[in-house]
Every structure is written in C-alpha cells, then in structure tokens.
Structure 1
C-alpha cells in the first residue's frame, strides 16, 4: 500500500517499536527539545495514548498525516487492523453479506457499498462519528469525524483486513475521502514463503 510521503507510519504490534515511532514523530514535529519542551511532552502523551488504544484494538499499523497546507495541519489517519472471521463460516462470506450487516448496523447514518479494488472485492462504508478520542481532544459535537472503512477479505481465511481512515475536518472530508480511496486502491496482497 502506498501512502503520501507526509504520512507517518507507526507499527503497532511491538511496544518498543511503537515507543520509538512516537519519539521520532515528536522529534519531527518539534525538533528543538529545549524550546518546545512542554509541547513535546503534551504531544508525546497524546500520541502514546492514541497509539496504545489502536494497539489494543489489535491494530497492525497506524498512519498519521503530517501534511500542512499554508502552515495549517491537514489531519487524517489510517488504522490498519484485522477483524477476525466467524468460526461458524467454513470459508470467507461474500462481501455482500458484510455490506448488508453494516447497512443494518448504521442505517441511514452511513453509505455502504461493495467495490472492486485492484486487490479484489471490498466493502466500503463512509460515515460520520463522534468518537471518545475526538471528545477528549475537545472536538465540538457539531463537527463529527468523517470515517471511511474498507473491509478487504483476507485470502484463504474468514478474517477481514480493515483499512479505517478518518479526518476530523468536515470542510475537507470529500477531498480527504478521495485521497483515502486512492490510497486503498494501491493495496496489494503479498505472500511470503
């Protein structure tokens, strides 16, 4: 999968790698340790909490946008995780079945469709939500986060790979979702022997 160069990758499966990545992102954001000590500490605490929560959800990787336009950050993220399959199914259920389940779960609050990506069929679910993280960070209730989830069936498994993109800026949501779709279209399965 190809992400923009301004997106910072944080591996989640190893705590040591998570901690090194958080330190590196803090150093990238605030290079001067003395001049920005308070901001560095605040950012490190916020990132550590976010990264630990993503790891607790069985996340594999977390990508955070460090892109800024005219000096203003353009916030976006991508959490990659595995949703375990249902042991009641002997093989991967059809994507249409998952799409129907998401439609039943979200109703009118989400746009759910099946799409064909270069890596195969997928379920696409775009919605708005006000997550606990957003509330803790002081995001106003009238400015929900736009979430784009893409569920990719894992070959030879009943599990799903979930690409969960989000952006908290409603004014940029449509443009960001176009970017998210473009990133997802670069995903390819690779097999190691």
Structure 2
C-alpha cells in the first residue's frame, strides 16, 4: 500500500489543508493542478515498457497513439471538472492480464457567493438538503468521513455517446464538509464499468473496494 497526499489551499487557521488516502501500488496519482504533464508522460512511459517485446511492430505505434490519446483526454476532462487529483489503475491487478476499467476523481467545490464574514448553515443541515433535493434514482446516505459530515451517493450513469460516454458506468461519490471551513466540500468520485455491465459482480466488488479505500481517508492539517 502507498500513501497519496495532495495539498488543498488553506484559508482559515485549523482548516484541513489536504488529505491522505491509501491505495494499492497498482494505482497511480495524477495531480491536476501542478506537474500534470510530467506525471502523464511518466505513466505512459511505464505503461509502454510493459508491451511484450514480440508484439508486432506495425501494431505498436497505433496502439501507443490510441492509449496516449485516451489517457490525455481523460486527464483533460478531469481538469475541466475542477479536479485536484485523478487516480487510475496502471498495472494489472493480481493475476489479471488487464487493467481495471475504473478511476477515482478528487475535486473540491465551494458554496456560491462566498464573502468575508459570511456565515453558512451547519454542515449537517446541508447534508439534509442534499438528500432531500436529489431527484434521481441515486442511493443516498449520510455519515462521516474521518469525523467530517458527509454524503455517500451511488448510482448508474447511462451511456451518452453525444457526450463521448460510450458505455454505462457505476458511480459512487463521497461528498464531505472540509473541517474548519463549512463553505468548502471535498468530493471523491469513483467510477467503474465493471466487467462490461455496471451492475455485474465485478462492479459490486469494486464498489465494496472503494468503500474500503474511503475508510482509510484522513484529513491533513499540516
């Protein structure tokens, strides 16, 4: 297991500055605000080193270009969502010969019309509002993430070819109030296509795995 940490801007004394999350070594972290290009190039380089030496030479070039294109596109989309970090599996897991079709996107959101001296509702009240206003078929529940008020949201996102989404995916989001600043909310969003069906056995196992990963989440105050 490895420890991943990303800084979150600190505006208020004793406010959480970042987070720690334990992930298997098969997963790589892509920072989305600084050093992104260098990390993307390193990940691609390491991935291409695992191409079998006996692979047909006329297939290697097109394969590399397609993998690089898709990976950079995924990173760019994550950046457009105001992402902090993107986590992806870059190595085969256990005895599997393929990488899992899954990802974790970490973002931060701020309540609108923030101004000096403004007051906000208690995070617990905001959780109630989130639960009551969601009109989708999502499975919603409230709880805590390392002592902070949080909402867990699970649903299936249908395919949308017009938006470049070719297959349906299973989504699980943890939305947590940042300690010390009720205006800021941390979001960890997990997505998987399972074994081709977002409701299949592999998807179920991966959702349970992500819940276990979030149990390792800790705020950082230094």
Aligning the two structures, in what range does the TM-score lie when normalised by the shorter sequence?
Answer: 0.7 to 0.9
Counterparts of residues 20-59 of structure 1 (less than 5 Å): 20-31=38-49, 35=57, 36-59=60-83
Aligned to 2:148: 120
SS at match of 1:72: coil
Q: Distance in 1 between matches of 2:110 and 2:160?
A: 23
Equivalent pairs counted in the alignment come to 185
- Whether the aligned pair in 1 keeps the contact of 2:127 and 2:149 (CA below 8 Å) is no
**Higher relative contact order (CA closer than 8 Å, sequence separation 6+):** 2
Aligned to 1:98: 127
CA-atom RMSD in angstroms: 2.5
Which residue among 94, 101, 105 is the counterpart of 1:75?
A: 101
Q: TM-score, normalised by structure 1?
A: 0.83
Q: Distance in 1 between matches of 2:159 and 2:124?
A: 26
In structure 2, stretches of 5+ residues that fail to align are: 1-20
Q: TM-score, normalised by structure 2?
A: 0.73
Q: Distance in 2 between matches of 1:184 and 1:79?
A: 13
- Whether the aligned pair in 1 keeps the contact of 2:176 and 2:186 (CA below 8 Å) is yes
In structure 1, stretches of 5+ residues that fail to align are: none
Structure 1 residue 150 and structure 2 residue 174: aligned? yes
Runs of 4+ that moved beyond 4 A: 32-35, 131-135
